[in-house]
Amino acid sequence: MRRHAAWITIAWRLAGPLAVVVWLCGISAMNARSAEDDRFTTAIVPAFKTHCAKCHGAGDDVEGELNLLALNSKSLSDNIELVRSLIDAIDLEEMPPEDEPEIAPEVRRRLVSELRQILHASVSQQGTFAHAPIRRMNRFQYNNAVVDLFRLKSIVFTLPERMMRDHKGYFKPQTGKMADVVTVGSRPLGKSQLIEQRLAGVAAFPQDLRAEHGFDNRGDHLSLSPLLMDSFLKLGQSVTQSPDFVKGNVGIWEAFFAAPGTDAESAVEVQRRLQPFLVRAFRRPVDQALLDRYSDFVLRRLNSGVAFTEAMKSVAAAAISSPRFLYLYESSGGGETAQSVDDFELASRLSFFLWGSLPDAILLDLAAADMLGTPEVLDAQLDRMLQDRKLKRFCDSFPAQWLQLERIISSLPSREKFPEFYFSKYRVSMHMMLEPLLLFETVLIENQSITQLIDSDFTYRSGLLETAYKGLGTPPGEGNRSRGGGVTVLNFNRVPVTDRRNGGVITNAAVMTMTSGPERTQPITRGAWIATVIFNNPPEPPPADVPPLSEDPSEGQEHLTLRERLALHRERSDCKGCHEQIDPLGFALESYDPTGVWRDKYDNGRDVNASGQLFRKHSFVNVVEFKDAILAEKDRFARALAGHLLSFGLARELSASDQVALDEIAAATAADDYCIQTLLKQVIFSKPFQTKTNPHDARTASAAQ
């Protein structure tokens, strides 16, 4: 220490303080590298040699072209995607394979800890996140944005992707309490659900595609071709020219469209009306040149004899056809490192995340005052947004897509084998799909723990749905209730769950039905759903040359259980690894038949076997113990759900650089008893949500024109 102090004194005198700081930083970096080298040598290399070298070591047959023994500390820290993959494979006990010696628990914990330190250090050093690409609004967001901009008393066009409709105003987040009886509508009910107040003459553009294991707001799926751009121009005109676009249906009519008094000067009045309108439409300040461009358009129309209201309709149509309105983008950061989003960009991120629409005047005013990003102000605004009825739009988009519930629309159990699934020309699935959605809304509105999504102590049931479950967990006296197979509106009652075979999003009939075939359950599909939705760890797609298991057992296999048939089916070595992970998750649900009804035996009389292990350390013999196993790993679920929410909020796929934030979000959520609103807030306060990595991009610049 004395020698170092002496050198610092000499250096300070000869080279000055700046040189000394640089020198000390160099020593610090060398020390950090030395510590990283030590961790790699003492903890990581021995584990790789002992447990991984057989498949991922030196030799001609290296699986996945990954030679772990060829890595050093620098090459590993420079490849954070590889580090992320290693952490996932080791932490989730996917590696080594089941037929290889296991890693001792203490060795596994240390190995994961060391790899996480490398990941955290690399992310901190790089200081960057994946770029959120420029994208247009999807049609759900477009509908909401137009409704909010004009304060319409109707929707713009019907959206079949809205799977549940509120018929009597049950959704009241400001109360913090969900009603005990709710009246809702269901998407597949047919024309009765499409008869809603909307603008006549306005047709929706095609439904936007969902990303695989993702959402329908991803930039790479929301392009804008010249043909679609032309359709948006026509769409904007059809909105303002609709016969329903009139004073009684447009909230801003008097302030924006109504003709001014005779003493008003046209140019001044037009700009006075346009300025706040364009700020709201474009979600950011408008400069004088842009304001002049739009006002000149109106004045030319007025000078040509067009009535004031019609001229303002024309400019409004032009505004909602502009790339400034249609595109969601952020200004260029001018560099490769992450920079804080400005307050207007933050306002848009917030509103499109929680409300699926434009920021309101309060958010924009706070952004203009440069106050929105202040932690205490932002926290207060989040409380306000979570209590606003527009939160229903979040519930109309995120949970259905997260749970992949659209798959139930095409689920058609055999009518001969499951006749109780059908009534009249309708299917019980229209009632099934609403149960997990109502559960999610209740957990959100009442700010309950996210563990309720796994194993809830309540649920919502219609009379028909209770009958469909055939008394499983039905409260005393409720089983005789009328089937209640309504097809216009449905009444759902909040009921306690006393049998844990019910409750949560995992074991509800909707998920069981949509992950089954017409004749039998599909444990592989169910396992893949659990891995993707609950643990955010989707399996790789199967090899193209693997034939599916037939619905009916082949000759000589009639006496086998489904587990035994699948064991014969998947003997290929390239299938084994994935099946070791997803099959136990799917077979845990095997006690539910293809319509979600409990069963103890197969049709051939064999007992159903739902036993297995979760992450090779939590054994279970039935679905209740399976839920207990998931709850024992609730931190993983919190992190996985945080990943889904962050991906939805940023409209992009997550990368290795986001993993540090997910660790922090999950830890903060756990510290507050896993409350869902805490989880949402932590997502919004996270670095990926608050920053942008947006190097100069000509496409972004051109979109703003």
Question: What percent of the chain lies above the pLDDT cut of 90?
Answer: 52
Task: Report DSSP letters for 606-657, one per residue.
Answer: PBP---EEETTTEEESSHHHHHHHHHHTHHHHHHHHHHHHHHHHHTS---GG
Instruction: Check if the beta carbon of residue 508 is closer than 8 Å to that of residue 436.
Output: yes
The yes-or-no verdict on residue 27 having pLDDT over 70 is no
Structure tokens at 144: 């909401």
pLDDT at residue 656 in the model:
85
Distance (Å, whole) CA 444 – CA 171: 11
696 to 76, 99, 158, 337, 650: CA distances (angstroms): 29, 50, 38, 12, 19
- What band does 315 get if pLDDT is binned at 50, 70 and 90? very high
Average pLDDT over residues 634-639: 96
Average pLDDT over residues 66-88: 75
Global model pTM greater than 0.95: no
- What band does 607 get if pLDDT is binned at 50, 70 and 90? very high
Distance (Å, whole) CA 256 – CA 383: 31
543 to 330, 548, 574, 604: CA distances (angstroms): 39, 11, 8, 31
- What band does 118 get if pLDDT is binned at 50, 70 and 90? confident
- What band does 675 get if pLDDT is binned at 50, 70 and 90? very high
Question: What percent of the chain lies above the pLDDT cut of 70?
Answer: 79
Dump pLDDT digits (tens) for 158-173: 888 888 888 889 999 9
Q: Which helix (H) or strand (E) holds 181?
A: strand 181-186
The mean of the pLDDT values for the chain is: 83
Dump pLDDT digits (tens) for 195-212: 678 999 998 887 787 887
Instruction: Check if the beta carbon of residue 450 is closer than 8 Å to that of residue 443.
Output: yes
Average pLDDT over residues 71-79: 72
pLDDT at residue 466 in the model:
87
The yes-or-no verdict on residue 246 having pLDDT over 60 is yes
54-63, 322-331, 337-346: segment of lowest average pLDDT: 54-63
The yes-or-no verdict on residue 449 having pLDDT over 50 is yes
Instruction: Give the ranges where 45-168 is alpha helix by DSSP (H).
Output: 45-51, 53-56, 73-77, 80-91, 105-126, 139-150
> In the beta sheet, which residues pair with residue 300?
none
The yes-or-no verdict on residue 639 having pLDDT over 80 is yes
Distance (Å, whole) CA 685 – CA 382: 10
Q: Taking the alpha carbons of 356, 357, 361, 363 in that order, is the dihedral positive or negative?
A: positive
57-71, 86-100, 287-301, 459-473: segment of lowest average pLDDT: 57-71
- What band does 651 get if pLDDT is binned at 50, 70 and 90? very high
Average pLDDT over residues 305-311: 95
The yes-or-no verdict on residue 82 having pLDDT over 50 is yes
pLDDT at residue 188 in the model:
53
pLDDT at residue 695 in the model:
56
pLDDT at residue 474 in the model:
41
The yes-or-no verdict on residue 30 having pLDDT over 60 is no
Give me the half-sphere count of Cα atoms (radius 13 Å) on the Cβ side of residue 563.
21
Render the burial of 158-172: b for 16+ CB within 10 Å, e for the rest: ebebbbbbbeeebbe
pLDDT at residue 104 in the model:
78
The yes-or-no verdict on residue 558 having pLDDT over 70 is no
Dump pLDDT digits (tens) for 520-532: 999 999 999 999 9
More confident residue, 130 or 185: 185
10-24, 86-100, 632-646, 678-692: segment of lowest average pLDDT: 10-24
The yes-or-no verdict on residue 678 having pLDDT over 70 is yes
74-83, 330-339, 561-570, 596-605: segment of lowest average pLDDT: 561-570
Q: Which of 20-29, 82-91, 507-516, 568-577 has the highest mean pLDDT?
A: 507-516
Residues 6+ apart with CB under 8 A from 347: 283, 359, 363, 364, 366, 367, 372
The 3-state DSSP class for residue 560 equals coil
Average pLDDT over residues 553-575: 62
Average pLDDT over residues 241-269: 90
SS3 readout for 393-422? HHHHHHHHHHCCHHHHHHCCCCCCCCHHHE
Query: Domain boundaries in the chain?
Result: 2-126, 135-158+196-328, 160-195+388-499
Average pLDDT over residues 113-120: 80
Structure tokens at 480: 């005789």
More confident residue, 434 or 704: 434
Q: Which of 73-82, 182-191, 443-452, 487-496 has the highest mean pLDDT?
A: 443-452
Cis peptide before 96 (omega within 30 of 0): yes
Phi/psi at 312 (5° precision): -70, -30
Dump pLDDT digits (tens) for 218-239: 877 787 677 777 788 889 999 9
